Amino acid sequence: MRLRALLETDALGLRLLGGEDELDRTVRGVMTTDLRDPSRYLSGGELVLTGLAWRREPEDSERFVRILAAAGVAGLAAGEAEMASTPDDLVLACARHRMPLFSVDEDVSFASITEHVVRQVSGERAGDLAAVVDRHRRLMTAGPAGGGPEVVLDLLGSDLDLRAWVLSPSGRPIAGSSLAGAGPALPAAVSATLAGEHLAASRTGRRGPHRITTAGATYSLFPIRSSGRDLRETVLSDWLLAVEADAGDWPEERLDLLHGVTQLIAVERDRREAARTVRRRLAQEVLELVQTGAAPAEIAARLRVAAPVLLPGLGTAPHWQIVVARVEWEGGDIPGGPVAQALLEEVLVDPGAIGPDPSDRIAVAHTGDEAVALVPLPSVPPAPSVPSVSAGPADAEDAAAVTGLHADALLAAVREPLSRGLADDGRLTLGVSAAVHSAEGLRGALEEARHARRVAAARPGRVCAAGHQELASHVLLLPFVPDDVRRAFTARLLDPLRDYDRRHRAELIPTLEAFLDCDGSWTRCATRLHLHVNTLRYRVGRIEQLTGRDLSRLEDKLDFFLALRMS
């Protein structure tokens, strides 16, 4: 389609400000951005929609338009929602670079223009393939009854013979083809691998689709991106479209069609994001009450309002749990709170821990670089053999009926892909409280979760978590011992043993670890190490001789235990 056709479509609310001689340019796509330099996302022929957030001073207009012209952009449309009129410096810059410039009426959304361009471009380039996009658009815009992204995936399967899935940044399946002939569901390990490769490729700034071969199949990964912000703010919350095919062999028309499909799926993602507004507000209100020391009765009243939203059809939650997350970027130029909020909402979508429809029961607020989740725990039959059961400070009868979140279990399936998205300049740390049975316990649970997160932050790794169980253990203290003190303490006790092991291969360190683990029992330790008791006694005697310690004394045993944990 041509720019002239867009201008002549009254419903789009476009007004020409300059570039009348260039209206016969062909439009091949549309991009919404407020990045100061969007060049890496441009391939030429786009209509660029912008809210002008990149403009901080008049000189910025020349630089921005020069980038668009160099990329072969078809035209620029500026929204007037934030400014009364389009700045003169932008008009002049577009004239210098022969860039057609439009203003967009404040009553017209960028999403409406995007959908119109996608439909028209797909229709002109893909011929009968446009029916796929158009049918999907009608179904998706009909609301939840339209079927969401599953509809377009079914159409891709039936009309184009493509198996496709929409995945979250952690690899969680959001939608997949439901056709009988679509084949088995995407294995969890493959989903996690695809998500990790997508995040790693996105952090390098490479344009999609990204191709990867895994488990004997080739997949093409199409980003479903949020435009207009730093990549680090969105890479850990954006969805991706995974297609079982090698897009490197596709004609341009089919690539354009799939890019159009990702824009339509982005509409559904934005819809789901908006649906979380109420839950986020409820969490924010409860968090503010808890932090300001409000009366338990006031907090309890707010929880009664929140319960029907967070536990639809299940009544009041008998227990609550708090999870705190923090995302930090090197340089500190990106606010971590919204990123942590999106990540916590993603991590907490755990059907086994929260219920049959967990996406409707996640309430996360954020302040600064920290996000706080208020997690309702409905009563379930006791399951003492499940490792994720965590007893809170309630009485034993209540605790036995509560299935809580476990820190390690929350991150087990998402650690690898999220680590790749955080790359080498970001870090996620997470802390989990015990379950509490009343409003009186929420303030303590919040502090408990924050303490646990600080324990996690003292550990190495890009993605770390700690639970309330660790706050009653030596592990709470060890991370906060200064590094120089740790090194001196462990060196004094363990270096003589390490040196001896290197020279004589005597395995004194493994022997010490086993001896302490067996609570000083000679028989059990000898059995574990497959040694004669006399050999074990010789080794322990050598340890005592080299270190000047006595392993029959509790104090010396404790020192060795801590040294091994800190080494």
Residue 256 has which token pair? 């354009």
Tell me: do 520 and 552 sit in the same domain. Answer: yes
Last residue of a domain, one of 223, 256, 273: 273
Say if residues 346 and 237 touch (Cβ distance below 8 Å): yes
333 φ, ψ (degrees, to nearest 5): -90, -5
The H or E element containing residue 319 is strand 319-329
Provide the CATH number for the domain around residue 196. Answer: 3.30.450.30
The predicted model scores a pTM of 0.58
Residue 384: give the domain boundaries.
277-476
Spatial neighbors of 8 by CB under 8 A, at least 6 apart, are none
Q: What is the predicted pLDDT for the residue at 515?
A: 92
Tell me: do 413 and 509 sit in the same domain. Answer: no
Tell me: do 179 and 102 sit in the same domain. Answer: no
Say if residues 1 and 26 touch (Cβ distance below 8 Å): yes
Per-residue confidence in pLDDT tens, the chain, 567 aa: 789 989 988 888 899 999 998 998 888 888 999 898 998 888 888 999 998 989 989 999 999 999 999 999 999 999 876 667 889 999 999 999 999 999 998 888 888 898 888 877 765 544 444 555 555 555 445 444 445 677 778 777 777 778 899 998 888 888 886 543 445 678 888 998 999 888 888 888 777 788 899 988 999 999 887 655 566 777 778 889 999 999 887 888 788 888 888 888 888 788 777 777 878 888 888 888 888 888 888 888 887 777 777 665 555 556 788 999 998 888 766 778 888 888 888 888 754 433 334 455 678 888 878 999 888 776 554 444 333 333 343 333 343 344 577 777 888 778 888 888 888 888 889 999 888 887 888 888 888 888 888 888 878 888 888 888 776 555 555 655 677 777 777 888 899 999 999 999 999 999 999 998 888 889 989 998 999 999 999 999 999 999 999 998 888 888 888 888 777
Number of domains in the chain: 4
Q: What is the predicted pLDDT for the residue at 532?
A: 93
Tell me: do 85 and 173 sit in the same domain. Answer: no
Asked if the structure places residue 128 within a domain, the reply is no
Instruction: Look at residues 274, 260, 320, 324 and name the one whose alpha carbon lies nearest to residue 122.
Output: 260
Tell me: do 183 and 212 sit in the same domain. Answer: yes
Q: What is the predicted pLDDT for the residue at 353?
A: 37
Asked if the structure places residue 237 within a domain, the reply is yes
Last residue of a domain, one of 224, 253, 273: 273
- DSSP 8-class letter at 387: T
Tell me: do 509 and 399 sit in the same domain. Answer: no
Tell me: do 208 and 286 sit in the same domain. Answer: no
Spatial neighbors of 355 by CB under 8 A, at least 6 apart, are 311, 314, 361, 378
Could you give the CA distance from residue 408 to residue 220 in angstroms, rounded to a whole number?
31
Asked if the structure places residue 242 within a domain, the reply is yes
